[in-house]
Chains A and B, each alone.
Chain A
Amino acid sequence: MSLIHINKVSKDYHLGKTIVHALTDININIEKGDFIAVAGPSGSGKTTLLNLIGTLDTPTAGEIIFEERNVSNLPDREATRVRATKLGFIFQTFNLVPVLNVFENVEFPLLINERDNAENRKDVTELLTRVGLEQYQKHRPDELSGGQRQRVAIARALINKPMLILADEPTANLDSKTGENIVDIMLKMNKELGTTFIFSTHDPKVVRHATKKIYLVDGQVDKVEGNNQS
């Protein structure tokens, strides 16, 4: 059984009288442990697809089955619950909470899930060690480089032991060396912790690292490369 089954999903945006078909008839299966790149030029629908999988938005048609549950039209409260417990997010612009230091940023999702106890706080340090930031725990985000911030974001995305991490262009605001380093860290986490990753990118160098590649063009799947495609 797939972790995620995307079934005939379309997404339209209405801009005044014109309708933008951001995604058209998308069918994808994602298996547990996949490390997937969603590649495609700007405007091809990568963000839209990740938002739909991440329950941040709802499709115009079709359904998204996550762990055998249709999550494509959940009420806000339940979608929030799914995100808090099953999903992790990494953003292009890092999006750390500026008033919290590195440790607190990673710890914050524990608080949301009321798991903020001494035991789980050990995981914060452990994850920060894994991403190589153990000496930066007390630093504020604005004292870190972009690459360092993104590593904090990776640790934050992992703290609640999610099934799936969604990363929308996680390397787009980084130089290519740092970007590749970030993808390496994600891949390492994927291997060590077994967490499924879906990240989007328009950078072919970054796509290389993925074990499975989904190419989008104009809101449609152009081709899929990699293991056990459906």
Chain B
Amino acid sequence: MKTYWQVAARNVWRQKRRSILNIIAISVNIFAIVAYTSFYRGWIVNSFQNITDYQTGHVQIHANGFLKEERRAPLDINIEKSLDLKEKIKKLPKVTAVARRIEFAGSVSNMMDTINVMGVAIEPEDEAKIFVRKDAIIEGSYLKANDEGILIGDKLAKNLNVGVGDYLNLYSQTKFNTHNLVEVEIKGIFSYGFDYMDKNFVFIPLKLADQFLDMGGDVNEMVISAGSHHKTIAAFEEINTALSPETLKKIEVSPWTAFAQGVMEDIESDSISMVILFGILVAMAIFGIINTMSMNVMERSREIGTLRAIGITRKGISRIFLYEAIITGIIAILIGWFFGSLLSAYLTFHGLPMPAEFFENVNVPVDKVMYGVPGITEYIGTGILGLVAALIGGYFPARKAAKMKVVDALNKI
């Protein structure tokens, strides 16, 4: 024997059925939080990876005022001396690649149907160093700098009923607001697996766009890779210190997170919903513990009275019940961790294939199979949560036990 802990442990064992209920109530939460956090972190890491790989790069540069009007993809708010700037930034040690681009609004037509698209004019080789472009091609080939060709998504190809080698008419307004049209050959068809890209985007070589849009060598966007999205801030800060104040006055340097605000907001609101959901579940678990432990206290009144009579203080009584709660909590935490880790490991190594319908509704580029990314945080967090829940759940019954009058407690059956 020797300690109150052992007495408490045996009481947990004595009241097996109730203890098991309490343990389940807590461990189910811990299990769910551990597994869910791993899954959700994997989700976030994957979307960040894909957003930067497919859409944003790590840092972008625009002329002042462009971003405010980005919706109309203005061709008249351009980066001054973009080639010089590109060469300068390329030399920075934390920058791995720089590409110039023109974003433009346009439409493509197969002579029967016309569909509005987001056009992006790219320097094919540099673009491919920053983005997953070549590997996204599922048919045909990637662009070359001198091609009079276009890359379109598989969904757009389907909607237009066209394939590699077919010709499309590409319409847009030039920098000087005149209408223009160019006939382009479909060189390749890409698929990113989510509709936002595969339905709406087209890519053409910068050289072709320069004539077609009458840009006179200007571009409205520059995209920079820092090697990995974790290194974004380092590269961002380096660019800001390397460029002269005069240059910085005319441009806006933005980390990719500025272009992923929708995703960031989604993450935030998802997190809040999960905190609320788990908060409710944990509160229910706490009420369950209060209930079952109060029953224990009532049933053990005479034992409490006896212990008080033979000289245990009020504190000692509440300690016995609190220890019982803590032991329950610790068992629940270990069980929750164990099963949570199993599911988390399964998600990490095997992954979870997402149903096809899922991709029709998301505007975040995530992979078809999501993998978990476990972290120590959820274990620390659920450990604390489990203990706190057990302590709150045990506190009220323990206090009730401690407050009993000895004679009353002894008289209860």
Of the residues B1, B13, B306, contact of A104 by C-beta under 8 Å: B1
Instruction: Convert B130-145 into 0s and 1s, putting 1 for each residue whose CB lies closer than 8 angstroms to a CB of A.
Output: 0000000000000000
Are A89 and B309 in touch, CB under 8 angstroms? yes
Which of A80, A100, A108, A112 neighbours the largest number of chain B CB atoms within 10 Å of its CB? A80
Within 8 A of B (CB), among A84-126: 84-85, 87-89, 91, 93, 95, 97-100, 104, 107-109, 111-113, 116
Q: How many A-B residue pairs have CB under 8 A?
A: 73
**Which of B168-176, B246-254, B289-297, B310-318 lies at the binding interface?**
B310-318
**A219 on the B face (CB < 8 A):** no
Are A112 and B316 in touch, CB under 8 angstroms? yes
Of the residues B1, B305, B313, B316, contact of A100 by C-beta under 8 Å: B1
**A77 on the B face (CB < 8 A):** yes
A133 to chain B, nearest CB (A): 17
Which of A76, A81, A85, A107 neighbours the largest number of chain B CB atoms within 10 Å of its CB? A76
Are A84 and B311 in touch, CB under 8 angstroms? yes
Which of B3, B14, B313 neighbours the largest number of chain A CB atoms within 10 Å of its CB? B313
Do most interface residues of chain B lie in helix, strand or loop, or is the interface mixed? helix
The interface on chain A, measured as residues whose beta carbon lies within 8 A of the other chain's beta carbons, has a size of 32
Q: Known contacts A99-B7, A99-B14, A100-B1: does B407 contact A83 (CB below 8 Å)?
A: no
Are A56 and B406 in touch, CB under 8 angstroms? yes
Of the residues B11, B14, B305, B312, contact of A112 by C-beta under 8 Å: B312
Are B302 and A93 in touch, CB under 8 angstroms? yes
**A178 on the B face (CB < 8 A):** no
CB neighbours (8 Å) of B7 from chain A are: 97, 99-100
**B10 on the A face (CB < 8 A):** yes
Of the residues B11, B302, B311, B407, contact of A109 by C-beta under 8 Å: B311
CB neighbours (8 Å) of B10 from chain A are: 99-100
Are B407 and A111 in touch, CB under 8 angstroms? no
**A54 on the B face (CB < 8 A):** yes
Are B309 and A56 in touch, CB under 8 angstroms? yes
Are B302 and A108 in touch, CB under 8 angstroms? no
Are B311 and A54 in touch, CB under 8 angstroms? no
Instruction: Convert B8-27 into 0s and 1s, putting 1 for each residue whose CB lies closer than 8 angstroms to a CB of A.
Output: 00110110000000000000
Closest to B3 in A: A111
Closest to B4 in A: A111
**B308 on the A face (CB < 8 A):** yes
Of the residues B1, B307, B309, contact of A54 by C-beta under 8 Å: B309
**B68 on the A face (CB < 8 A):** no
A157 to B309, CA, bound (A): 10
Interface of B toward A, CB cutoff 8 Å: 1-4, 7, 10-11, 13-14, 302-303, 305-314, 316, 406-407, 410
